Amino acid sequence: MPRIEALLQDRRLYALLGKFDEDLAQGARSEGCRCGGRLHRATYPRKPRGGPVDLGDDYDRRYSFCCAEEGCRRRATPPSVRFLGRKVYLGAVVLVATAMQHGPTPTRTARLRELVGASMRTLRRWRSWWREAFCATAFWKAARGSLSSPVAEALLPLSLLERFRAPGRTWRSVVALALSFLGPLTTTGSSAERGK
């Protein structure tokens, strides 16, 4: 996968993903609470790993809201393209680094450790998560049918990235599209959150 590893430290990718998350947050806030109440900002802290150093304050927080109505106070956390559920590593890192493991070589593994700081054990755990926990989610069982052609589950997430490739489309936009597709996994209560 030529040049895809550069995305792991590409500030333009993370800025794009940050903008997507802002848009998702604004949309959720404008919808309001299911009870009809207004939503107030109630972000919570994150300590993301694996991306470029100092991505800014927005990457230290996950957008979330809380209903302003007394007696409701329901939390509303919109989907995210920056974070993949409760994983501590950024979503783009988990997606790209795991895709790069297909056909792993000692050189590639060493390079991944250097780029994102993930141990071999963590990289193996991500691969296992994609093949087992992710494939078992209700999200995947429903969403895979929306793709134009079947995805080889044994090659996830590389095979998923390939579904978003198109002539003239950059790897940056391919990763952003794939993370947008995976957005429903990132909301509270998602069954895919369990695999860290």
Q: Per-residue pLDDT tens for 4-47? A: 778 888 999 999 999 999 999 999 999 999 999 999 999 989 98
> Does the pLDDT of residue 59 top 80, yes or no?
yes
Residues 6+ positions from 133 with CB-CB distance below 8 Å = 192, 194, 195
Element (H, E) at 45: strand 44-45
Determine what percent of the chain is predicted with pLDDT higher than 70.
Answer: 92
Element (H, E) at 38: none
Instruction: Indicate whether this model's pTM tops 0.85.
Output: yes
Identify the pLDDT of residue 136. Answer: 94
* Cross-strand pairs, 83: 90
Alpha helices for 85-119 (secondary structure H)? 91-100, 106-116
Instruction: pLDDT band for 103, please (50, 70, 90 cuts).
Output: low
